[in-house]
Amino acid sequence: MKLSAPIYHLKRKAKALSRQQSIPLNAALDRIARTEGCKSWSLLAARHAAASPASELYQQLKHGDLVLIGARPGLGKTLMALELALEAMKGGSRAFFFTLEYTQAQIAERLLRLGTELSRYGDRFVSDCSDGVCADYIIKATEDAAPGTLIVVDYLQLLDQQRSTPPLDQQISALQSFARSKGLIIVFVSQISRSYDPKDKPFPTLDDVRLANPVDLAAFDKTCFLNESGVRFQANA
């Protein structure tokens, strides 16, 4: 479906409308949806999901892939990762969402934005907000996962903030070996450096990934970068 603006812009518009008119957010979302030709936000979200870039991207993923999703704040990179998790579950696979950023309530709220509820998929969706999330933690938690399971790590840079864990480069290497051996798909949400300027190039690249310490980004098989107007994804040589 063709929207008048990217869906995350419509969500911002609904939030502003909710504040301005002192109405519940769900009512504001439904009002915005009607301006887009849908009776409700849930219907708009469902139609958008069917035509979402996430669906196209998911079809290009292979067992064992490491995927990086990068964007500046507020452009929908976490929602894109959650959409990929939904695509995996629609196909019968499980999905894990490891986050050092969000609470369980925030994850549930973001899934509602996408027109779905946690209860819909039962034990096929596992979200983990532990402060101990790192490569070893993820590997232990998913060691029995079946091939095709999709794992989201939200987000890459937070794995590099604990002195008690190995350097980020070693963690990425460990997760790459784990994904290859088990036939899993691991998706990393990533920050983009503040030095990135969309005036210089429309989409970020791996050179723009924000890193405190050296990391071999060649480990990523697929990349997906978002900007104000769309999505660019590609397979890396």
pLDDT digits (tens, 9 = 90+) for 21-37: 999 999 999 999 999 99
pLDDT tens for 142-169 read 999 999 999 999 999 999 988 899 999 9
Residue with the bigger pLDDT between 121 and 46: it is: 121
In the chain, where the domains are located? 7-50, 53-235
Residue 62: pLDDT band (50, 70, 90) is very high
pLDDT tens for 77-88 read 999 999 999 999
Residue with the bigger pLDDT between 210 and 237: it is: 210
CA-wise closest residue to 155 among 214, 79, 222:
79
Domain 53-235 has CATH 1.20.1630.10: no
The neighbouring-strand residues paired with 96 are: 126, 151
For residue 66, the Cα-to-chain-centroid distance in whole angstroms is 13
Would the pLDDT of 194 be above 90?
yes
What is the pLDDT, as a whole number, of residue 51? 64
pLDDT, the chain, mean: 92
Q: Indicate the SS3 state at residue 192.
A: strand
Close Cβ partners of 8 (under 8 Å, ≥ 6 residues apart):
74, 75, 76, 79
What is the pLDDT, as a whole number, of residue 85? 97
Q: Indicate the SS3 state at residue 30.
A: helix
What is the pLDDT, as a whole number, of residue 49? 64
Whole-structure pTM value: 0.81
What is the pLDDT, as a whole number, of residue 237? 66
